[in-house]
Structure 1
Amino acid sequence: MRKTLFKWHSYGALIAMLPLLIMSITGSILVFKVEIDSLLRPAHMLVDATPSTPRVSLDTLMKTLLVTNPQFELGGWEIFDDKSRSDAGYIIKRGTEDWSKVYVNQYDGQLLSEPQSLEHYLTDWLLELHYTFLLHVTGTSVALVVGIIMLFLGISGMMLYRRFWAKLFTLRFQAVRRILFSDIHKFIGILSSPVLIIVAATGVYWNVIGIQHELTEHPDGEHVYVTAARHSKNISFEALMRQTEVEIDSYKAGYLAMPFEPGRDITFYGDVDSRNPFNSEYASFVSFDRITGLLLAKQDIRQANTLTVFLDSFRKLHFGYFGGLFTRIIWCIVGLMPMILAFTGLYSYWHRRKQRLKSIQNRRQQALSVESPMLYTLMAVLIKMGRYPFDVTP
């Protein structure tokens, strides 16, 4: 059983090595996406406001964005009120599936950028590469398979090397390279497996949800493109956002999802004061009818069922920010461990293969050395009997 498991562990690592390296490197970088964006593009990401500076009305911000970009309709809006980070409006070009993002100063109403595709900026491109390998739905399917393999590698690795705990911090530095690399592989694998299993499991879940959405909402591959606003022009989004704070105690909206597809309504996703460190900033929501603006549904994560709370925790568990900077650093470092695991594992596989081929060659040579005298005797007899066409006696 252990031998078979080890074989499948090796094959799985070889098959998924390249995409796993892509996902691990990009994932580690994306743990600090906001900080990287703020460093590279402060004019887009950062605003300067005093603690007493109020936000401009959401309706005014939306109108400014659409008037400046009349060929687009709104798809969503990121909402911030920390006096330092800018809002971001997500817009869709009419008659297409082309989404763009525009940064907006929510305290003076000024647009901070031109519309750019969701893959335009470096970290946004890395995010798309991380989730879909730049292949959209097809890439999501590939990422799903790779995530399942990664999950298997983490679990099988812990099963294979479960006895390594006794010598977890013992590395034989003076040993030959093969043994040292094997120790390093086991050491890093055992330490990083819990985090890698969490990351893989949460990633697999999101990939399944994404694929399920495409199959359910667009079963024939057809898409209904937005050609005009799907909500009533009489609706005040600022008033709806204020109402969310009344509907749920301590609620703070973080993202507004617009009804850009049939069957969708207006939904604000946001955060509440909670003792659960794994509740995400989008765990609670309030939905309104896109025509009448009447309340349709709401969810306070503090009152949600266990399954909902568990699934919502996947966001913070995947990116590792449930414990602040400390856990983010851990997630970033552990996310890079597959590079070392790939190198040490590949070296061990190559060495085992080399030794196996050498062993086969040695056995063949030994067999020939034993069988040669008998072979020559038999051939000599055949020659004397006229059954062999040429003389092979030594």
Structure 2
Amino acid sequence: MSSSIHRGWVLTHKWSSLICTVFLLVICATGLPLVFSEQIHDWLEPHTYVQLPAGTPNASLDELASSARALYPQEVVTSIFVDDDEPQAYVWMAPSFETAKRDPKSGHFVRFDTRTAQVLEQSKPIGQRPLGFMDWMLRLHMDLFADLAGELFLGAMAALFVAAIVSGVVLYGPFMRKLDFGTVRSGRSRRLKWLDLHNLLGAVTLAWAFVVGATGLMNELSTPLFAVWQRTDVKALLQSYRNEPMPPQAGLSSVQAAYDTARRAAPGTTFTGITYPGAEGGSPYHYLLWGHGSSTLTSRLFTPVLVDARSGALTAVVKMPWYLRVLEVSRPLHFGDYGGLPLKIIWALLDLITIVVLCSGLYLWFARRRTRAGRLERLVTARVSR
């Protein structure tokens, strides 16, 4: 490697690392509890249910939606979430679809026991609910409380992190030619010892850091990627409906029938989300149902199904574009959701090591600046004394 190319890689590693380090420390610190989000949520908000015989059938989704509308007759149902882990369903409501689009925090939910249709909880509008600990961690991790601008900014920081990793790999090879792998020169200066530790820990976490950085970049692009999909594929799919009015909620076909239609159209798929016509992210004319598979991989790959909200007929089983498939796979990989609690623990340990790498990088930069300042001061003193 020529000296000019080597200097270019050094500058790339130096500035890409320095620019993103503070924000990466925030991401790593907030990501640590998010890795165990399910366990922490179950601990902070435990749910209890009445004991019923195994195989007790679920109540109709129409009954749940009707009960929610009876509680809030002036509002509309925007979506239903059917939990596939616990016997509960959330019916989300808003004052109107226009209000929900203008102010997403105006929505609230009614939580039901899916077996008995009993109301378990009625939430306040999102904007009136105080943020809990995990809400703070998630918002800081996702967008620094800056919405889309924050997502794009953190996406840029993730891209710089990936650049720092790649440039670090390029520089690590020549650096280690004179040393055995894992050597830490503890008998020399403190800065040299931390340089060796920084390089060693960076090499140990290399693959994990690259995967987490790349998947983090994909996650931060989720909003614009879904917007592209809606403006292209979904818009083309709904082209034949463009001149038809949106059906009123009182005139919609059975949501339970739409749920059953989707299950028949996609066998082996577990449907959990149902977006009503007119709601943000859905179709003005259809129930949009989201389902996932049962295997380790397909459980993270979602299949959307459109069911005509007036006739109840199947419109389409939508094929997701490749970039959204990549996004779906990257989300659980980012938080170590593929292998249960053991993998989460490994993810947490690697996260802690990465925090050490980031902090040691900052220390090395400041220590080098102090060393240079000390040399300059000694040089000036020597010239003055002459």
Pairwise same-fold verdict (TM > 0.5): yes
Quick check: 1:144–1:204 contact (8 Å CA) kept in 2? yes
Determine the structure 2 residue equivalent to 1:241: 259
CA distance in 1: counterparts of 2:373 and 2:137, whole angstroms: 41
Structure having the larger proportion of residues in helix: 2
Correspondence for 1:180 among 180, 184, 193? 193
Quick check: 1:278–1:317 contact (8 Å CA) kept in 2? no
CA distance in 2: counterparts of 1:355 and 1:46, whole angstroms: 64
After superposition, residues 1-20 of structure 1 pair within 5 angstroms as 1-20=5-24
Change (3 A) 1:308 1:348: closer
Segments of 5+ residues of structure 2 without an aligned counterpart are 232-245
Quick check: 2:79–2:274 contact (8 Å CA) kept in 1? yes
Quick check: 2:258–2:287 contact (8 Å CA) kept in 1? no
Is residue 335 of structure 1 aligned with residue 351 of structure 2?
yes
CA distance in 2: counterparts of 1:147 and 1:359, whole angstroms: 35
Quick check: 2:198–2:357 contact (8 Å CA) kept in 1? yes
Secondary structure of the residue aligned to 1:113 is strand
TM-score by length of 2: 0.79
Task: Tell me the amino acid that sits aligned with residue 114 of structure 2.
Answer: Q
Determine the structure 2 residue equivalent to 1:64: 67
Is residue 87 of structure 1 aligned with residue 105 of structure 2?
no
Quick check: 1:101–1:115 contact (8 Å CA) kept in 2? yes
CA distance in 2: counterparts of 1:230 and 1:331, whole angstroms: 47
Correspondence for 1:285 among 304, 323, 326? 304
Range 15-24 or range 165-174, more displaced: 165-174
Is residue 200 of structure 1 aligned with residue 213 of structure 2?
yes
Kindly provide the CA deviation profile for residues 130-176 of structure 1, in whole angstroms up to 9, marking residues without a partner as x.
11111112222222222222222222222222465974444445554
CA distance in 1: counterparts of 2:373 and 2:50, whole angstroms: 64
After superposition, residues 37-56 of structure 1 pair within 5 angstroms as 37-43=41-47, 50-56=53-59
TM-aligned CA deviation for residue 109 of structure 1:
1.9
Quick check: 1:79–1:254 contact (8 Å CA) kept in 2? yes
Name the count of aligned residue pairs: 354
CA RMSD after TM alignment: 3.2
Segments of 5+ residues of structure 1 without an aligned counterpart are 219-227, 373-394
TM-score by length of 1: 0.78
Change (3 A) 1:14 1:367: same
Correspondence for 1:140 among 143, 151, 161? 151
Quick check: 1:19–1:146 contact (8 Å CA) kept in 2? yes
Kindly provide the CA deviation profile for residues 63-86 of structure 1, in whole angstroms up to 9, marking residues without a partner as x.
22233234543333222244x353
CA distance in 2: counterparts of 1:297 and 1:345, whole angstroms: 52
Kindly provide the CA deviation profile for residues 229-272 of structure 1, in whole angstroms up to 9, marking residues without a partner as x.
85563411111212222112212112222330474532221122
TM-aligned CA deviation for residue 315 of structure 1:
2.4
Secondary structure of the residue aligned to 1:235 is coil
Change (3 A) 1:271 1:17: same
Change (3 A) 1:104 1:31: farther
Change (3 A) 1:77 1:26: farther
Quick check: 2:262–2:314 contact (8 Å CA) kept in 1? no
Secondary structure of the residue aligned to 1:161 is helix
Correspondence for 1:34 among 28, 32, 38? 38
After superposition, residues 1-394 of structure 1 pair within 5 angstroms as 1-43=5-47, 50-82=53-85, 84=86, 86-94=88-96, 95=99, 96-97=102-103, 98=105, 99-116=107-124, 117=126, 120-162=131-173, 164=176, 167-211=180-224, 231=249, 233-259=251-277, 260-261=279-280, 263-264=283-284, 265-274=286-295, 277-299=296-318, 309-369=325-385, 372=386
Secondary structure of the residue aligned to 1:200 is helix
CA distance in 1: counterparts of 2:356 and 2:6, whole angstroms: 23
TM-aligned CA deviation for residue 39 of structure 1:
0.6
Which structure is larger by alpha-carbon Rg, 1 or 2?
Answer: 1
Quick check: 2:184–2:197 contact (8 Å CA) kept in 1? yes
